A and B are shown apart, each in its own frame.
Chain A
């Protein structure tokens, strides 16, 4: 018997649904739900993690992320402008920095800032303590990535914008600051958001600097609880805590993009 085209399509689709339902059903039946719930979802442990996971751990994660992002954004913008400078040595230095720091693991840079610099300059302290070390340590790497993004954004602004600004009597600097860079940042909002989300997760590296009860962030907090209770529930809660940060972030950026769309 020969099936017609629509019948074949319906059959194919039906089979695909069938496979999907079969897999879900197998998992539901085969999984040992009691043991899973006991390992990952102990309500008493979840309760014991509050409010510290919000008031301390999540707060610190956000602070470290914002600190590193702010440092990376400022430094990255400077690097981007150096890359585009008419002064050749500025271009060389910026290029060398970007190539170097994009090639180093963030963890290594964090070690350098947290331990290398204090050994080299024991008499001086990095401002802001752990917060400062993390902001700078992660920011140094982030700056290298952001510099390339921002440079591309600046170059994506049509040349006519700079020309129009200059013909109105603006200096190169004023035109850059009021006309080109604001447009460049609208262009780079999506890639910079990616960077912010990456930094949110990279802030978990803070544990290598030996954080205390006051400076603990989400991952370290989750791991400490894991050791303490010999139970995996804290990891689930820690994971959800990260989503509490990153999911709304994506939403906010989507809104921003929509708002800027009409001014593009």
Chain B
């Protein structure tokens, strides 16, 4: 173990992120403890996905500092490839490599990055496929899998690198409703096994049942956070209450005559346009 056990898995201090003139994150202070499962919720455009992508440095923060397992990600000289080996990332659109079989999706980074031999990499890959219930799909290509199977394969791909921290960016938002359960089950099992997880999600039931802590974001700031029963059950802030009522009871809100605050749009609408190969 190279990490200092006393340091949290993720530490974020006064994080700002702008895209041009658009300020997406306006001063985030945030931590994820070792072994903790944190769910980040909030309306579309609240900056929750950007926050998650900053942790893995897929987005370059405009200001502020981020540490992952004690390593400062925002240090310009950070060995980013080395740090990312310890961080798993699961995308909304899966991003499996379509030209490789499922098994090779799981072995390619093990072999190219960790320099594992073929036999060892395949052994670890198959163990992780079993973990997500896809033992029989090892030789299939991603296009031959359902969305739920693809996402589980993507989770297994991340796990094959044996990360200490898993980041999930709306992992079930691109899935048909009946396929969401399988993916959430895999994630719940992962949480029970003690994995440190940061999950951006719209699945309130998952947040309530699995998260150690729920963070509500709106307008680029953390509005409130705490145990799920507090944030989801007895929210202190008006904005949290408004969001939860829109998500949990969308038809009712519409009747109150607030069409401009329409309920969180169906999540599939947020799919980036460049994902056509995966869908």
Contacts and interface: CB of A to CB of B under 8 A. Distances in A.
Interface of A: 157-161, 163-171, 174, 178-179, 182-183, 186, 260, 262-264
A261 to B, nearest CB: 9
Contacts of B154: 164
Name the prevailing secondary structure of the A interface residues: helix
Contacts, number: 86
Given A158-B276, A169-B113, A169-B161, A163 B91 contact: yes
B144 interface: yes
Given A169-B82, A260-B99, A262-B141, 4 more contacts: A169-B109, A174-B112, A186-B99, A264-B98
A160 B278 contact: yes
Contact of B91 (A157, A160, A178): A160
Nearest to B161: A168
B98 A160 contact: no
A161 B276 CA distance: 12
A90 B143 CA distance: 36
Given A174-B112, A262-B141, A264-B143, A167 B89 contact: yes
Contact of A168 (B82, B98, B109, B272): B109
B159 to A, nearest CB: 11
A152 to B, nearest CB: 14
B128 interface: no
Contact of A179 (B56, B97, B143, B275): B97
Those 4 A-B pairs whose CB atoms lie nearest each other, nearest first: A168-B109, A164-B95, A167-B89, A169-B85
Contacts of B100: 263
A160 B87 CA distance: 17
B262 to A, nearest CB: 28
A163 B99 contact: no
B143 A262 contact: yes
A159 B144 CA distance: 21
B200 to A, nearest CB: 15
Contacts of B82: 169
A189 to B, nearest CB: 12
A160 B143 contact: no
B136 interface: no
Nearest to B84: A169
A91 B34 CA distance: 45
Contacts of B161: 168-169
B97 to A, nearest CB: 6
B81 A169 contact: yes
Nearest to A171: B81
B97 A164 contact: yes
A158 B94 CA distance: 12
A168 B113 contact: yes
Among B58, B87, B95, B154, chain A packs the most CB atoms within 10 A around the CB of B95
B143 to A, nearest CB: 6
Interface string B88-119: 11010101111110000000110011100000
Among A169, A170, A262, chain B packs the most CB atoms within 10 A around the CB of A169
Contacts of A159: 272, 274
Contacts of A165: 97, 109
Contacts of A262: 141, 143-144
Contacts of A186: 99
A5 to B, nearest CB: 42
B149 interface: no
B274 A158 contact: yes
B164 interface: no
A171 B157 CA distance: 17
A167 B160 CA distance: 13
A164 B84 contact: no
B118 to A, nearest CB: 15
A160 B174 CA distance: 14
7 contacts: A158-B277, A169-B84, A169-B109, A170-B81, A170-B109, A178-B112, A182-B99
Nearest to B140: A262
Nearest to B112: A174
B49 interface: no
B89 A164 contact: yes
Interface string B113-152: 1100000000000000000000000000101100000000
B97 A160 contact: no
B158 interface: yes
A167 B81 contact: no
A164 B278 CA distance: 13
